[in-house]
A and B are shown apart, each in its own frame.
Chain A
Amino acid sequence: MRLITHNMLQCPVKGCSKDNFPLRIEDAEIENADADFNPQFLKRMLDRIAWGALVQTSFSLGVAKLPESPGDPNDDEFLQTLHHVLLETRVKEGRMVCNGCGHVYPIREGIPNMLLQENEV
């Protein structure tokens, strides 16, 4: 699971409406995989990224340091850092935990599993 995907996931448990994003990543096995650097794509994505959640998550995983607010989209160094965090950093194994309801979502073979039990839908 790349961090760009994590940035799009919110706890889907019915009635869980507080502290349900971002999901806290625990026991993460992190790996890096090279991706083509595409500054145009990154610029287009900037307004679709929940920035605070990304900063918090990358800090908790100890990956590259992002600024507290999005940097200058024409600053190549900022875009390179963003590229690495969003598109090259992956959680291979681990789990996500909802800070609101405590629900645990496993990550196996790089794929998050968001399925719920019957009483949670």
Chain B
Amino acid sequence: MPDFPTPDLSHLTRADFRNVYEPAEDTFLLMDAIEEHPRINLDDDRQRGRDWPSVCLEIGSGSGCVSTFVAKVVGRSNALFLTTDVNPHAARATRRTGEKNEVTLDPVVTDLASALLPRLRHSVDLLIFNPPYVPTESAEVASPLPAPLFSISASWAGGVDGREVVDRFLPFADELLAPEGVFLMVLLEDNAPEEIIREVRERWGWTGRRVKERRAGRERLVIVEFVSGGDAHAG
């Protein structure tokens, strides 16, 4: 598989990173999972005949680093790279990071995937979410409403067990994923990934597995891959 460099973020300053999550270990682990994914990163022969994914969607794109990386690996003209973020600063950073790295990302300021449904119903081939997963008080979790003052804690505060935003999003993921779609999500060991994998298998019949793990300080990061069902899922 070809290697891809980390996207150039030199256009973003300290001031930007006061309002937008700065790429960290979780971001890099997610990019590693993308680079090592056998359906996303193809060798040159298969890249020429690529017919998947057509629609990529990243929820909570922050700096735009991950979706830029996806566009580089998939090929910038081979798919639509939609992103959402509830934070307008992040949406702007995402657009600029795409431009800086000569790919086009299509950011939307919205709560999770709101406004993209029902149009994207069962149409997203590659779904990516690095959620706010840090266990915190519920009160710290981002509001889906426009905040008078954006707080950077919204980019990581995950509420009880770090699961509040993850659990709110999962039903939308089921609506969004195309048949045999791939959903990559960042979790902590503290979020009980095995429990989430079991729950979504029982609810929607997805296949879930850990694809990457790494210790980062006191946290243990896990990248989980879900693959939605085939034909039974469609319609």
Q: What residues make up the interface of A, taking CB atoms closer than 8 Å to B?
A: 1-2, 4-5, 7-12, 21, 33, 35-38, 40-41, 44-45, 48, 50, 87, 108-118, 121
Contacts and interface: CB of A to CB of B under 8 A. Distances in A.
The 6 closest A-B pairs by CB, nearest first: A36-B77, A38-B77, A114-B115, A114-B110, A113-B109, A12-B115
A52 B18 CA distance: 43
A45 B119 contact: no
Given A111-B95, A117-B145, A118-B145, A7 B119 contact: yes
A48 to B, nearest CB: 5
Given A36-B77, A38-B78, A48 B108 contact: no
Contacts of A10: 115-119
B165 interface: no
B209 interface: no
A5 B82 contact: yes
A11 B115 contact: yes
Interface of B: 51, 54-55, 76-80, 82, 86, 88, 91-92, 95, 104, 106-111, 114-120, 123, 144-146
Most buried by A among B51, B78, B109: B109
Nearest to A96: B115
A41 B52 CA distance: 9
Contacts of B146: 115, 117
Contacts, number: 89
Contacts of B82: 5, 8
A92 B34 CA distance: 31
B160 to A, nearest CB: 21
Given A9-B108, A12-B115, A112-B108, A48 B55 contact: yes
B54 A41 contact: yes
Contacts of A112: 108-109
Contacts of A35: 77, 104
Given A9-B116, A12-B115, A44 B54 contact: yes
A113 B80 contact: no
A8 B57 CA distance: 12
A100 to B, nearest CB: 14
25 contacts: A1-B106, A2-B106, A5-B82, A5-B108, A10-B115, A12-B115, A35-B77, A36-B76, A38-B78, A40-B51, A41-B77, A41-B78, A48-B55, A48-B123, A111-B88, A111-B92, A111-B108, A111-B109, A113-B110, A114-B110, A115-B110, A115-B111, A115-B144, A116-B111, A121-B145
